[in-house]
Amino acid sequence: MNRRSNRAIVVNQIGYPLHSTKQAVFTKDGTFHVVNESSGIVVFTGRTSSLNNDPASGHMVALGDFSEVNEIGRFYIQHEIENVTSAPFSIQPHPYTALHHGLLKAFYYFRCGQELTPELAGPWHHSACHLAEGFVYDNPEQRLDCSGGWHDAGDYGKYIVPGAKAVADLLLAYELYPSAFRRPVPIPETDGFLPDVLHECRWELDWMFKMQHPSGGVFHKLTTHQFPPLTTLPEHDLEPLIFSPISSTATGCFAAIMAKAARIYQPFDAKYAHKCIQASVLAWEWLMNNPGVLAFHNPPDIGTGDYSDQQDIDDRYWAACELYATTHNPVYQDALLTMSKEAFHKFGLCWSNIGGYGSIAYLLSDITQTDCELYDQLLSGLRNEADYMLWKSSTDGYGISLLKDEYIWGSNKVVMNNAMLLLIAYRFFEDKRYEAAALNHVHYLSGRNSLDLSYITGFGDHSVQHPHYRPSIADDTTDPVPGLVSGGPNAGLHDEISKKSLQGLPPAQCFIDHEDSYATNEVAIYWNSPALFVLSHWEQQK
């Protein structure tokens, strides 16, 4: 455990865009100086706001604005009180290039079924893993190829629903910000033709094809019976792999992401795009033939993550919206119009409430092809959601859209999902407040938080060092795999080390950088993916 004494000034430890609003958060008010790190010259002197109570963190906090500093370089902030300084940070036109690259490269490190070579993976290389065929639950005689895809999180399971969310974020980032992905990662498939982000998504999509039953239904997940010990390297995890039963949520998400992929890959590989849409339509037909919710629950002898969900209307709605956006077939519009009248959240971006991707797909469609009434309802709903995020951000001492009771398992995913929604709203309404609020969420993730901690491994002056991530725990490399987003504060204290160490702390401080803390410090593909989307906005070449 390493709960060190935090600095009294917290900043985005990566940096600030050149002509953006630039603020630091102080736990001591007064006069402060912005100092050029290399020359020691004070480039700006300002005074903080008065201190105010921030209930989520339990701190009295003040803001110090240094937006007038539009000088490229490396800086730190010094309080008038001697020896009180911040982490160093950059001011650049594109300060997040390396971070954006690292967040995307992380998906290569999550790859299953492929050797990660020293040339591409550096000290975090390892042998190919999980190459054996898996067996279908309740039919152990049926064995199927199941190699490929991404490990979901700190374990080695592979799951359709969160995998679809992760791919959706990456494809949407490419769709809206293609210029952010001009730089090769590189990865084994780098060819100078297909952008590497699409190569990386294809690694997951190709595994997803293997999860579709000939009926069109999709197996919910592929895991061993139980999680392996933390000290297990991926290639040493040799327990039998099991295709868990089909679920309607997995099938709906599969139909949706394959339809979206068909649109995105069409200009590059028409044959592959056709394969995607065929798989999507087959999954949709299964959904039509199985109108009831086929919810997934772990069989009694399986103890891995279940991603269970008691409703599938959001998954089906997403599928219909993506299929309509790709095919313009009125059958899918009729279906989504019917479903849109049901009561479910139309802007959820979480695996358990994923309908927001459907609404976004519909809003991004050719407006001449959409139903005017539904389009206007969704546009109004998007503005209302974004305005609610603004209000929540205005009540938080660190400028993020989490209320005191929203520091849950994977709270950093919620932070980045909210920032995604703000940027989608900015695209439609061009309200600079939405963009500025989204940037505050980036600042929080990168160190401007009550723990003075960058929640992204390998990035920042003080970043997460001990994530709940088996490859980094089991290898002989001191530094963790870089570019992984940690789950973040979780007031639920769901693991033993959290219960032992964090009792009584305010919600925003319920985090421990310890490998045993799966409830606060695990990593996951669908925590990286919204962060990559958000950073793509500032990495695009304007």
Residues involved in catalysis: 513, 522
In sequence order, the 6+-apart residues with CB closer than 8 A to the CB of 66 are 22, 23, 24, 34, 44, 46, 77
Amino acid at 361: A
In sequence order, the 6+-apart residues with CB closer than 8 A to the CB of 222 are 134, 146, 149, 157, 158, 159, 211, 241, 242, 243, 244
Whether the CB-CB separation of 242 and 302 falls below 8 Å is answered with yes
CA distances from 105 to 98, 115, 188, 436 (A): 10, 15, 12, 26
Sheet holding 73-79, edge to edge: 15-17, 89-92, 73-79, 31-36, 42-47
In sequence order, the 6+-apart residues with CB closer than 8 A to the CB of 271 are none
No. of helices (H) and no. of strands (E), the chain: 16, 16
Is 406 exposed, middle or buried, given 0-12, 13-18 or 19+ CB atoms closer than 10 A? middle
Amino acid at 538: W
CA distances from 364 to 76, 211, 328, 375, 534 (A): 41, 29, 13, 10, 17
Gyration radius from the chain CA atoms: 23
Query: In terms of Cα–Cα distance, which of 347, 358, 345 is closest to 425?
Result: 347
Structure tokens at 519: 């409830």
User: Among all chains, which residue has been given the structure tokens 């297909």?
Assistant: 194
Helix axes 160-176, 196-210, angle to 10 degrees: 150
Query: In terms of Cα–Cα distance, which of 372, 289, 381, 273 is closest to 327?
Result: 273
Query: How far is Cα 236 from Cα 475, in angstroms, rounded to an integer?
Result: 12
Sign of the Cα torsion 460, 186, 414, 21 reads positive
Query: How far is Cα 57 from Cα 268, in angstroms, rounded to an integer?
Result: 48
